[in-house]
């Protein structure tokens, strides 16, 4: 059972997440073989204030 985990800033639409899951699954099967039914994709939406880069919170570095 392949597991793909995506951690990204929150805010993507349900349709964007559908497309992401489909394309990741298709790409995995194309590159590594296997059945799409066996590929699991987990999306973790992370608030910008819970993520830091280069010593700064992303909410400060990349304000909306």
> What is the mean pLDDT, run by run of 10 residues, along the chain of 64 residues?
97 98 98 97 98 97 91
Residue 2 appears among annotated catalytic residues: yes
Q: Which of 2, 36, 47, 63 is catalytic?
A: 2
The continuous run of DSSP H or E covering 44 comes out as strand 40-46
Tokens of 33: 């073989």
Long-range contacts of 35-39 (CB under 8 A, 24+ apart): 38/1, 38/2, 39/1, 39/2, 39/4
pTM above 0.85, yes or no: yes
For the chain, domain boundaries:
3-61
Q: How many CA atoms lie within 13 A of 23 on its CB side?
A: 7
- What is the per-residue pLDDT for 64? 85
- What is the per-residue pLDDT for 42? 98
Pick the CATH number of 3-61 from 3.30.470.10, 3.30.750.200, 3.10.130.10, 3.30.429.10: 3.30.429.10
- What is the per-residue pLDDT for 58? 97
């Amino acid at each position: 059972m392949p597991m793909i985990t995506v951690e990204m800033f929150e805010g993507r639409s349900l349709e964007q997440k559908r497309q992401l899951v489909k394309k990741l699954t298709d790409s995995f099967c194309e590159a590594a073989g296997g059945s799409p039914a066996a590929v699991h994709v987990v999306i973790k939406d992370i608030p910008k204030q819970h993520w830091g880069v280069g010593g700064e919170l992303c909410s400060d570095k990349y304000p909306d």
